[in-house]
Structure 1
């Protein structure tokens, strides 16, 4: 590991840390140490990082702002690359913007709404990064990333970078081609926004943000929506109807505010959360014969 750290440092790729606690980088505040933690300072730094890690056959995981993520208490072996500062650039043009995968989605939505740009109001309360939002096709209030993405610069495990068009991303509900068929990560996105009435757009986004604040427990450590909605059903309603709100295992508790959220009461472990997820799955199958699939990204060794 010392040799890898030396190579990364010499290449000036960005921040490099050993045994960094990943609980510091997830919104649910769970996750043990990463053998190696790297926050690239640029796309070029990211490419160099991948080249060096691949040369040493080091396992690689990529994270963003950690808002839809579960990581084991024993941490992750190999290297964890965080898309954050250094990959948070923003370039504005007349009818589109080019934005780094590490840019905070809420911040972007706020800035664009204040400039009278329409298309991102739905994202005003989604606490992830642009890269994670593209990867998951994040959405709310009848819209999602597929409606505004023109193309995405994708990093593949072999270190290659390739632009994928909206069509090539194969978006569907909370899914993109990057999750399975062409496993990769959004480094940069080009988004098409429209000019609109600034006051109207700001008011629309405020309404969505207020709704999230009133109906979702973001004042507690949590990982966002745990399950995909098994359409035409809604995960939160199924959990509520099954009488599971408030059910707790260890330090992990199903939110009493929203049935599709699990909150960390202060000392929750990865195992607590996974046990609660399994309990929900079994209960919903038994009561309603509906299979629940997780939306949260679960990283394991």
Structure 2
């Protein structure tokens, strides 16, 4: 979509809206919608068009229209591991949260990309299926979890996913098996090819419901005791450097409590940055850069963000 120009949206904003209204129900379209309403950091500017499709067909129709008209498209899950800049996002933002169905058949759970992975792990427990306990505290959607091969406490998505139904920029459906998804540490073919997950299937193992609940309780207690859940945050900020832990490097750099604007490195867990006083996306970004520079200077180790940072920089 190299031919897209920002002025296209300004000049043709009303006509683009009318064409979208002809494609999908009017009640799923919002114009100039504040995105800070949908992120865990409580930051972010406006989306030109914010759409909440309720079916795969809606998503396909929107993508085909956008591709034909060179309009950029951005996708949001539940906004738990993302920072959106104050300048907002041009073009179309698609929220997938309405694609939240969860269905169980024997040892298989099929779920829409908008379902919370926490809810899917609980559904597995309720049906005495083991394999998703690790996800009981991950505050993300299924789509985001597949996108980054989310994991915690020794488990990750690639351990139990069977396939993912995706859609490409042209609106074509693509079904990818576990191997085809190329799931790696915080990475996948979904990222590499700019695909979007619409649905995922997980193959689990029959287990004892009491034991499953006990494991989930243990993981929840460990998470609540170590993570700063009392403040808005974007979750774990950095990927784990080979042979090291990002949080330990940050802690050993005496950066806990360091604040820029309203955002500070958590004193509870150095791997998190929390919005303690009306912080902005710019505050987050500046603090991330400062931490990277400090750790690099102290240990000669590069910290790569795990959190996604998207959107336009604010106009001064």
The TM-score range, normalised by the shorter chain, is over 0.9
Structure 1 position 138 matched with structure 2 position 183: no
Q: Secondary structure at the match of 1:224?
A: strand
Deviation of the 1:51 alpha carbon:
1.7
CA deviation digits over 1:14-69, x for unaligned, max 9? 61000111100100101000001001011111111112222322110011000000
Which piece of structure 1 moves more, 106-115 or 131-140? 106-115
Within the candidate set 10, 14, 34, 2:47 is matched to: 34
Give the superposed CA RMSD: 1.1
Q: Secondary structure at the match of 2:32?
A: strand
CA contact 2:64–2:169 (8 Å) conserved in 1 = no
TM-score, length basis structure 2: 0.92
2:302 aligned residue: 291
Count of residue correspondences: 299
Residues of 1 paired with 2:59 and 2:111: CA distance? 16
2:239 aligned residue: 228
1:159 aligned residue: 171
Q: Secondary structure at the match of 1:47?
A: helix
2:254 aligned residue: 243
TM-score, length basis structure 1: 0.97
Within the candidate set 204, 213, 227, 1:202 is matched to: 213
Unaligned runs of 5+ in 2: 1-12
Deviation of the 1:91 alpha carbon:
1.9
4+ residue runs over 3 A deviation: none
Which piece of structure 1 moves more, 261-270 or 119-128? 261-270
1:76 aligned residue: 89
Structure 1 position 100 matched with structure 2 position 112: yes
2:7 aligned residue: none
Q: Secondary structure at the match of 1:137?
A: coil
1:269 aligned residue: 280
Deviation of the 1:202 alpha carbon:
0.7
CA contact 2:72–2:91 (8 Å) conserved in 1 = yes
Residues of 2 paired with 1:54 and 1:183: CA distance? 13
Residues of 2 paired with 1:3 and 1:209: CA distance? 49
Residues of 1 paired with 2:297 and 2:206: CA distance? 49
Structure 1 position 52 matched with structure 2 position 39: no
Residues of 2 paired with 1:158 and 1:219: CA distance? 41
Q: Secondary structure at the match of 2:199?
A: strand
1:2 aligned residue: 14
CA contact 1:114–1:202 (8 Å) conserved in 2 = no
2:293 aligned residue: 282
Deviation of the 1:114 alpha carbon:
2.3
CA deviation digits over 1:270-293, x for unaligned, max 9? 111111101111111111111100
